[in-house]
Amino acid sequence: MLRKELPALAEKVTEELRSESPALSALLADLGAEESRRAVEQAMLVALGYQESAERVRRPRDLVVTPLPVAPARRELFAALSGAKGVSDVALAEVARCAGWPVPARVQAIALASPAEAPQLAAALGDALIGTVDGDTCLLVPDPGTQTRARLEAALKGRVAAVGHAVPAGDTASSLRWARALLALSPGRGGPDARPAFVDDHLSALLLLQDESLARALSSRWLSPLDDLTPRQSERLEVTLLAWLEGGGAPEAAKVLQVHPQTVRYRLRQIEKLFGPALRDPRTRFELEMALRSRRLMAHVRRYRSRAGRRARAVASTIRPLGMAREARVNGL
């Protein structure tokens, strides 16, 4: 009953904090409505002894209530499918029978930023299997061919979520891995306009970012001619080179960059002086594009992690457990 009523109660408390506390109002506005509500849920559960303190949270999307209880057989089945617990095909079939969840030919993972309403989502998506992976609440959607993209978007609208690629049941861990990786790169704010992110839309980005050390080595190998330039000069030539590689010519790059084609041609002459005749080699152009895309993606990840870290510290330092004395005065819980 507590878990059913907590989201609505947290929303009311958040509104009270926003209207009664000017100091908190600015912070809550910066966090956004959904993230603020989740932070208040966290504080309430800490006060009641159901959750650990927010100071131990790693990032804003972890400021959520703990997942709702799941039947033991279903937990076992989720662990087996996710690779967390190795079992034989015979044992898997038996666990699936006990769980009342026949293993489908294909599954699709969904990683959620908040476990709120996970059972309702699971029911809406064909009795999806609920489980957790390193603190992330995840769903395994059976027979994803029956779940159109429009249906997934409608069910997940307003939530921060990432949808993995459809895989054979034996590859469930892969869909979970990439859904969680994409969730970690997604903006942490929910709200009515929030939309789920789909791994299928970000395959190349995830591929480039699967090993940041290799991505940095790739950038160092091919973009070293830019090292002696100022940051502004390097940025200008990088975006020009990438636009040229993607578009195939100066006019196309000029349209993307919204500059005159002659400006692009001037920059390309500078680029040719730096990189030499290697630019005419197809393999070099391919690896240069990969290096440029990797550098841009890593910069995006650094900015996101920096913002996420600041928000987490702000919430952790502002919202505290109520304490035993005040806990007794909380009404309605």
For every residue of 237-302, DSSP letters joined together read HHHHHHHHHHHSSHHHHHHHHTS-HHHHHHHHHHHHHHHGGGGGSHHHHHHHHHHHHHHHHHHHHH
Q: Report the pLDDT value the prediction gives residue 60, as an integer from 0 to 100.
A: 42
pLDDT of amino acid 56:
40
For position 3, what pLDDT does the model report?
Answer: 65
103: phi > 0 → left, psi -120 to 50 → alpha, else beta; which? beta
pLDDT of 308: 53
pLDDT of residue 332: 36
CA distance 125 to 143: 10
- Single-letter amino acid, residue 64: V
The pLDDT of residue 318 is: 45
| pTM, entire model | 0.60
Note the helical H segments in 21-117.
22-31, 33-48, 72-82, 89-99
- Would you state the pLDDT for residue 64? 43
Q: What is the residue type of 307?
A: R
Residue of 327, 304, 311, 322 lying closest to 62 (CA atoms)? 311
CA neighbor of 182 nearest in space, from 34, 304, 311: 304
**How far out from the chain centre does Cα 325 lie?**
38
Per-residue pLDDT of the chain (333 residues; tens, 9 = 90+): 666 677 788 888 888 877 776 656 666 676 677 777 777 777 776 666 555 443 443 344 444 444 444 578 898 999 999 987 777 888 888 889 988 999 999 999 999 988 888 888 998 898 999 999 998 999 999 998 888 889 999 999 888 999 999 999 999 999 999 999 999 887 666 667 788 999 999 888 888 877 778 888 888 888 888 888 888 898 899 989 988 888 878 888 888 888 998 998 999 999 989 988 888 888 888 989 888 888 888 877 777 666 555 554 544 444 444 343 333 333 333
What pLDDT does 78 receive? 94
Distances, alpha carbon 175 to alpha carbons 109, 203, 303, 331, in Å: 5, 12, 26, 43
Residue 110: what pLDDT? 96
